[in-house]
A and B are shown apart, each in its own frame.
Chain A
Amino acid sequence: MTSRMKKINIAVVAVCLALAGYVTTAAAAFRHAAGDNEPGPAFAPRLLAAALVLFAAVLAGQTLFAKTAADRPDPPGAGRFLPPMTGMAVLFAYILVLEQLGFIVASALLAAAFLLACGVRKWYVLACYPVASSLAIYYIFRKLLIVFLPEGVFHF
């Protein structure tokens, strides 16, 4: 097991333990109403939290007792975190403005941003692709599937 994976595993164990703790405390507030016959709404979450602790312990044991191997270098197609992070940030912003700007405008911007993040630089692609695709999607969903995508304040 590489030392990087070991560190990641320990982080995973920590998250699991935190989650289990949270679930157990939250579940204590679930009121049991249907009488004695059935275990109530807190039963499953508590059981699952206990199982999570168990498996996290196993993972911790596996990690601590494994021989540490050398870190493998990143394969040629990985390790550049900026594009996906940008993608996540763009999506976050997109959902915030979706209802104000409306689907067509917001999605065109979204597509353009992702094209840029994926390395596309040709200006005509960046101009036509987003506009064409978001218009197409909007109208296909509106007319064919009768699904109303957000109109935004511009009322397209």
Chain B
Amino acid sequence: MCRPTLVACLALAVSGALFAAGYPEKEIRLIVPFAAGGGTDAVARIVADLAAKDLGQPIVIMNKTGGAGAVGMTEGARSRPDGYTVTMITRELCSLYQVDLSLVQPKDFLPVCLVNEDPAVVLVPKNSPLKSLKDIVEGARARPGSLKFASSAQPNIYLLAMMTELGLSFNQIPYGGAGESIPALLGGHCDFTMVNPGEAIAQIRAGELIPLAVCSDGPYAGLPGVPTMRELGYNVTASTWRGLAVPPRTPREIAEKLESAFKKAVDSPEFQKFMADRTLGVRFIPAAEYMDFMLRDAEALAPIMKIVKAQQGK
């Protein structure tokens, strides 16, 4: 490498290190691409609260909603790479761009760590004639497109996972979030739904909603006694995850500081208890493996997203 370039690189590295040495010197913004009061928002607030203690500066939540997460994540990816804007990224980062609903994809971020993963759970109302997952599958086979599914988000990756794997079709009724799809189920207007356990745990514990199957890899601790899809003989897994990321050119030292702070937060007994109490899953993946995780996830989602694209008429 020629002299001037070497000097320039050294200067950059030194200044980067100096910059990082004082970090953080003021509040850090955490962009949450979903509405205040929702599941992603709750996870963000708790992990931020704990990580802030380690970093010594407050972490302020900024809800930037829109486009099922696309707006907030786009802003996060394009923000200044100085470590003062962190973004909570979710599985939509891997799915939306494949159907032209987002301008950002995993490679537009520098991942910090994954903090949470929640499986989908199949729910029916308490007096439903559908007593088991088999009833749903057979009902859909007998009368394709007649069983009413209350969908909390469009496109619905959870239902699509089930549809593509098992070759079924349902009558999807669109709703704006679990806050609308769950009442639809409670009121008997739809036959079943798929949400994350934390979104319906209160109704499940009260017996208003009955979980028929959980779509995780192995038995899910938060829902003891509920069989997994695989145990029932259906090879369907569906989940969502949430993690943290910064813009791509953020100095390495700063990203590492963030990762260590968030790791401490996730490992803390406070966080573990908090998430367990609310039936939110904890899963930690460090920065080094997070990008691979996301790229593999995007690949896994590709067949489903292709179907969505076809449905959109493209």
Tell me the A residues contacting B by CB distance below 8 Å.
31-34, 37, 146, 148
**Bitwise interface map of B from 19 to 59 toward A, beta carbon under 8 Å scored 1, else 0:** 00000000001000000000000000000000000000000
* Contact among B171, B172, B313, B314 for A32, CB-based, below 8 A: B313
In which size bucket is the chain B interface?
under 10
B62 within 8 A of A: yes
Chain A residue with Cβ nearest B154: A34
B60 within 8 A of A: yes
**Bitwise interface map of B from 272 to 314 toward A, beta carbon under 8 Å scored 1, else 0:** 0000000000000000000000000000000000000001111
Contact A146 B312 (CB under 8 A): no
- Chain B residues with CB below 8 A from A148, complex form: 29, 60, 62
| A146-B60, A148-B62 given; A33·B313 CB < 8 A | yes
Minimum CB–CB distance for B64 against chain A, Å: 12
- Chain A residues with CB below 8 A from B29, complex form: 148
**In whole angstroms, what is the CA distance A143 to B312 when docked?**
45
Chain A residue with Cβ nearest B313: A31
Minimum CB–CB distance for A126 against chain B, Å: 33
- Chain A residues with CB below 8 A from B62, complex form: 148
**Bitwise interface map of B from 51 to 94 toward A, beta carbon under 8 Å scored 1, else 0:** 00000000010100000000000000000000000000000000
**In whole angstroms, what is the CA distance A146 to B313 when docked?**
43
Minimum CB–CB distance for B101 against chain A, Å: 13
Contact B314 A31 (CB under 8 A): yes
Q: A31-B313, A33-B311, A146-B60 are in contact. List 5 more A-B contacts (CB 8 A).
A: A31-B312, A32-B313, A33-B312, A33-B313, A34-B311
Listed by A's residue number, 14 A-B pairs whose Cβ atoms lie within 8 Å are A31-B312, A31-B313, A31-B314, A32-B313, A33-B311, A33-B312, A33-B313, A34-B172, A34-B311, A37-B171, A146-B60, A148-B29, A148-B60, A148-B62
**In whole angstroms, what is the CA distance A111 to B75 when docked?**
29
Chain B residue with Cβ nearest A147: B62
- Chain B residues with CB below 8 A from A32, complex form: 313
**Bitwise interface map of B from 212 to 233 toward A, beta carbon under 8 Å scored 1, else 0:** 0000000000000000000000
| A-B residue pairs, 8 tightest by C-beta | A31-B313, A33-B311, A33-B312, A33-B313, A146-B60, A31-B312, A148-B29, A32-B313
- Chain A residues with CB below 8 A from B60, complex form: 146, 148
- Chain A residues with CB below 8 A from B311, complex form: 33-34
Minimum CB–CB distance for B258 against chain A, Å: 19
Minimum CB–CB distance for B145 against chain A, Å: 8
Minimum CB–CB distance for A36 against chain B, Å: 11
CB interface residues, B 249-289, toward A, < 8 Å: none
**In whole angstroms, what is the CA distance A37 to B62 when docked?**
39
Minimum CB–CB distance for B238 against chain A, Å: 21
**In whole angstroms, what is the CA distance A148 to B171 when docked?**
44
- Chain B residues with CB below 8 A from A146, complex form: 60
Chain B residue with Cβ nearest A31: B313
- Chain B residues with CB below 8 A from A34, complex form: 172, 311
Minimum CB–CB distance for B148 against chain A, Å: 11
CB interface residues, B 154-185, toward A, < 8 Å: 171-172
**In whole angstroms, what is the CA distance A146 to B311 when docked?**
42
Minimum CB–CB distance for B130 against chain A, Å: 22
Chain B residue with Cβ nearest A30: B313
Chain A residue with Cβ nearest B145: A35
Minimum CB–CB distance for A106 against chain B, Å: 19
